[in-house]
Amino acid sequence: MKTLGLFRHAKSDWNDARLRDFDRPLNARGRKGAGLMGLHIRDYGMRWKRILASPAVRVTQTIELAAQAAGESPPLNWDRRIYLASSPTLADILREQDGDPPTILMVGHNPGLEDLIFDLVPDDGSSPLRDIVEEKFPTATFAVLELEIEAWSDLTDSCARLLHLMRPRDLDPRLGPQIED
């Protein structure tokens, strides 16, 4: 059995049109959401043996603010392939993990993270959390999947159960989509 955490970067700033997508920072709501989710991820109680992350600015800032709020200094593995990756690419990255850590947290972007959930969790009506993801996997959302595999190299479609899903607005309604900065 393996456990996979998925954490989407927090809300980014679109105000500077000169910036490349890769270089976009977080906006004020994103900074608040990242810290709040950092506390939630800590309180969830899972010890992540490996953290894989996109090196995009909005991801690095999300991790930094989440870690500061949680009082943690997690060891990070930056992988540029995670930046805007598709679900098959993310699955390949997971399959190639050496040392077979029992838990991995992947921090990245949509639509790849959301699609990875759709690929790994069967669409058989047994997961109300999957139904929520089908509506939207908003920024700074944190999900936990339990995978029925012995090694990461065994990762295959429909091998997981979605155990946990938390969005910033679930913890603070002011961080919901109806609020503008």
pLDDT, tens digit only, all 181 positions of the chain: 999 999 999 999 988 888 899 999 999 999 999 999 999 999 999 999 999 999 999 999 999 999 999 998 888 999 999 999 999 999 999 999 999 999 999 999 999 999 999 999 999 988 899 999 999 999 999 999 999 999 999 999 999 999 999 999 999 888 887 644 4
Which tokens belong to 93? 């990255």
Q: Answer whether residue 90 is part of any domain.
A: yes
| Sign for the pseudo-dihedral over CA of 12, 10, 167, 100 | positive
Specify the CATH number for the domain of residue 80.
3.40.50.1240
Q: Answer whether residue 180 is part of any domain.
A: no
Provide φ and ψ at 7, rounded to 5°: -130, 115
Q: Answer whether residue 97 is part of any domain.
A: yes
Q: What pLDDT, on a 0 to 100 scale, did the predictor assign at position 73?
A: 85
Q: Answer whether residue 137 is part of any domain.
A: yes
Q: Answer whether residue 98 is part of any domain.
A: yes
- How many whole angstroms separate alpha carbon 137 and alpha carbon 177? 12
Q: What pLDDT, on a 0 to 100 scale, did the predictor assign at position 76?
A: 94
Q: Answer whether residue 157 is part of any domain.
A: yes
* Structural domain of 131: 2-175
DSSP state, residue 26: B
Q: What pLDDT, on a 0 to 100 scale, did the predictor assign at position 180?
A: 47
Q: What pLDDT, on a 0 to 100 scale, did the predictor assign at position 178?
A: 61
CA atoms within 13 A on the CB side of 59: 25
Q: What pLDDT, on a 0 to 100 scale, did the predictor assign at position 181?
A: 43
Q: Answer whether residue 181 is part of any domain.
A: no
Where do the H-state alpha helices sit in the chain? 28-44, 57-70, 87-95, 112-120, 128-135, 168-171
Domain total of the chain: 1
